[in-house]
Amino acid sequence: MTASNPAVVVFGSLHYDIIVKGPARPRKGETVTGSAWNPACGGKGGNQAVSAAKAGVRSAMIGAVGDDDFGHTLLDNLAANAVELDQVRVIDGAASGMSVAIFDAEGDYGAVIVSGSNLQLGQSDVAQAEHLFRAGNILVLQNEVPDAANVLAASAMKNAGGRVVLNAAPARDLSPELSGLIDVLVVNAVEAEALAGGGEVETLEDAITTAQVLAQSFPVAVVTAGGEGVAFAEQGGDKGTIPAIKVKLVSTHGAGDEFIGVLAAQMLQGESVTTALSAANQAAALLVSSQR
């Protein structure tokens, strides 16, 4: 595809994941016996770029990996999934990002990430990718790279007339500079609670209430509530909920990233917030029930 085609541009993390399956996640000081493990290519950024590409749109990744086996595998995975990777920097002497995710028997998980090369994203990466910051494109950000780097990328896209989606995961405080550049904020229940400063988000009613609070600060706020569904609110405009699609849970791993990638792809194609969220909700349900 040529550079003139609209694109979902993902600025963010690439991790080599090690997936461990056990009967339960260990408590402090506890050792449990697992049943299997496997490697996988991930990082929220990498997952979201692959998801957007699979949804049928042009997808470009801006990221950084080390010159190591993990990094080369991550690059191969992006290429195999038709993600443009010209702007993924390979850093000599740096270790690629990685994570360990431990799944329990119900398919839920906890993870530890080691950011590695992802922490070196910054001004040079934004400057080198100048051609990707343009009107008509959508920039996707996450919280697995430094806030300052996200501000640089978001500023470049907004100055060019494009739109910015922030998946504020994992939860952390957002700088005022970044908050002011976001068009669509997407958070899960835990992240929504942290940013809204309110009570727990356990139901769709809680989610839409929290989305309305967040929409006071962001043009569109989306709150995903796991097995309950998703809620959204537009600043001074529409609001609504989309119930979860009931499926047999295999694994929740990557569901949020699948949601973001499809959401961004739908937005790029000009779909409304409601239509885009419905498609993203369906894609995430398919993933957690099949782990295709």
Are the C-beta atoms of 50 and 59 separated by less than 8 Å? yes
Please answer whether residues 266 and 184 qualify as being in contact, where contact means their C-beta atoms are separated by less than 8 angstroms: no
**Residue 257 known to be catalytic:** yes
Select which of 17, 125, 183, 257 is catalytic. 257
- The Cα 43–Cα 54 span in angstroms is 17
Contact between 9 and 160 under an 8 Å Cβ cutoff? The reply is: no
The residues that are catalytic are 257
